[in-house]
Every structure is written in C-alpha cells, then in structure tokens.
C-alpha cells in the first residue's frame, strides 16, 4: 500500500498595498489599492484586490478582531464577481442549519436580521425557504433546511477550500471545477481524521482539517470544515475536472 504523505508548511499571505489616509476630521482610514498580482484562486496575473478566505460576514461583532478572518489572498475581479451575494446567502443558510448557540444567536439578531430588512431581504428569505422541507417528526410547523441542495452554498464551500489551499501552500491554482464538496454525510474514519492537519482559530466560527496527498493523476487533497460547531462539510480536490467528473459518474452509477 502506498503511504499517504502530507506536508507541513508555512501559510502564505498575499501582498496587498495598504495606504492610510486621513479624513476631514483627521481620522485614519485604511484603503486597499488594487494591484497586479497572481490571483489566489485562478492563478492568472491580473489586477487584484484582497479577498478574505473565510467571509467576514460569518463573524459576529464580538469576533471582529479575530486573527483568522484576516487570512487573505489576492483575487481578481472575475473570481470575486458575485461573491458578496453568495456570502450573505451562505451565512443565512448556516445560521438556520442546526441547533442554535451563542455565536449563531449573535449573528441572527444582528447581521442577518438587518440583511432581511434591506430591499432584497424578501428575495433572500424566499431563496432559503426553497431549501426547507417539512419535518413533522420534530413537531408541527417545523422545517429542516438542506444546504447540499443549494449550488450556491456548495460553491461557497468550494471557494473557501480553494482559498485555504492557496493559504497553506498546497496545490495552486485550484479551479472551481476541480473541487467536489458536500455536507458531511458519514463520519470520517478515525485514522484519516488523525492524519489530517488540523486548524482551530475561532473554533466557534470555523474549524477545518486537511490532508495533502498531491497525487498528480488523481486526488490532491482532502478537507473537512465545520461551521459554528455544528454544520460540517467535506471536500475533495482533484488534479483535473475530468478526474472529478469520473468520480461523480462512478458515484452515480
């Protein structure tokens, strides 16, 4: 049996030009100017701005000084296009997907409720309601939400995995079509979970683990992510879209 090897390496922080200006009252404001760099997602050398690997919208105000959410990569406009809307939708779904806790309560009573009061709040509510199914076993008028049924949710998970792969100096660039993501449907094998590299910064927001395989003909890395200590996803990064499609077809068969 071929041994599974994984590498420990220092994370990468993309260089972003930061300027500090003074407003009319003399208060310092920080501006992040676009600059030419290799995009941390698609790998193309383009005009980029900074991108938070973990969306800032997932952090409640009491977590505003978190070191983890300052993990950034350079990202081009094409890779960032539409991500703000996806981030808000992702947060909405995650706050509903599972039992509540203090972190979720803070997000729901603050950022989520304010977002629902905005002009596009009704659209966001209807988008999430479409993912719900009646749950009579729990009680009358109760519903369950199924994140795996929403392509936007899984796209957000794939993007986070791609960004973390760049941050940890794993395979790069990783295209969206190389990543297979899903909710965690079964427990991970104990030996696999133990072999993974674990990260826990602001664990009440996101815990994750990865195993770097780096098989140029097949699987490059395997991922586990848990949000708000309750909603877990798994991800597999393949060497190519063709390899991912081959696995999807075998699963469907």
Residue 117: HSE in the Cβ half-sphere, 13 Å Cα cutoff: 7
pLDDT average, residue stretch 19-35:
52
pLDDT average, residue stretch 93-111:
92
Q: How confident is the model at residue 82 (pLDDT cuts 50, 70, 90)?
A: low
- DSSP one-letter code for 64: T
Is residue 205 within 8 A of residue 54, CB to CB? The reply is: yes
pLDDT average, residue stretch 96-117:
91
Q: How confident is the model at residue 201 (pLDDT cuts 50, 70, 90)?
A: low
- CA-CA distance, 133 to 144, in Å (whole number)? 5
**Is the pLDDT score of 28 beyond 70?**
no
Is residue 93 within 8 A of residue 150, CB to CB? The reply is: yes
pLDDT average, residue stretch 15-37:
54
- DSSP one-letter code for 56: G
Q: How confident is the model at residue 143 (pLDDT cuts 50, 70, 90)?
A: confident
Per-domain residue ranges for the chain? 85-148
Percentage of the chain with pLDDT > 70? 83
Q: How confident is the model at residue 67 (pLDDT cuts 50, 70, 90)?
A: low
Q: Residue 170 has what pLDDT?
A: 94
Pair of tokens at residue 198: 């674990």
- CA-CA distance, 133 to 197, in Å (whole number)? 36
Residue 120: HSE in the Cβ half-sphere, 13 Å Cα cutoff: 6
Q: In DSSP terms, which residues pair with 197 in a beta bridge?
A: 210
Residue 161: HSE in the Cβ half-sphere, 13 Å Cα cutoff: 32
Three-state DSSP at 78 gives helix
């Amino acid at each position: 049996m071929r041994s599974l090897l994984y590498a420990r390496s220092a994370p990468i922080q993309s260089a972003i030009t930061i300027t500090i200006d003074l407003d009319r009252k003399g208060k310092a404001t920080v501006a992040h100017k676009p600059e030419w760099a290799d995009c941390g997602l698609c790998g193309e050398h383009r005009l980029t701005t900074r991108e938070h690997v973990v969306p800032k919208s997932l952090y409640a105000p009491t977590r505003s000084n978190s070191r983890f959410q300052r993990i950034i990569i350079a990202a081009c406009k094409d890779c960032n296009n539409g991500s703000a809307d996806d981030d808000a939708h992702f947060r909405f779904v995650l706050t509903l997907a599972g039992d509540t806790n203090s972190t979720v309560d803070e997000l729901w009573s603050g950022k989520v409720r304010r977002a629902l009061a905005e002009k596009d709040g009704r659209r966001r509510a209807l988008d999430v309601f479409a993912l719900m199914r009646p749950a009579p076993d729990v009680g009358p008028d109760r519903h369950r939400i199924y994140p795996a049924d929403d392509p936007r949710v899984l796209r957000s998970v794939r993007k986070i995995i791609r960004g973390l792969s760049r941050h940890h100096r794993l395979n790069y660039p990783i295209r969206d079509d190389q990543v297979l993501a899903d909710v965690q449907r079964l427990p991970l094998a104990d030996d696999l979970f133990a072999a993974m590299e674990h990260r826990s910064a602001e664990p009440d927001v996101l815990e994750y683990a990865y195993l770097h395989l780096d098989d140029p003909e097949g699987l490059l890395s395997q991922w586990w992510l848990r949000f708000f200590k309750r909603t877990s996803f798994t991800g597999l990064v393949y060497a190519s879209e063709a390899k991912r499609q081959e696995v999807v077809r075998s699963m469907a068969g």
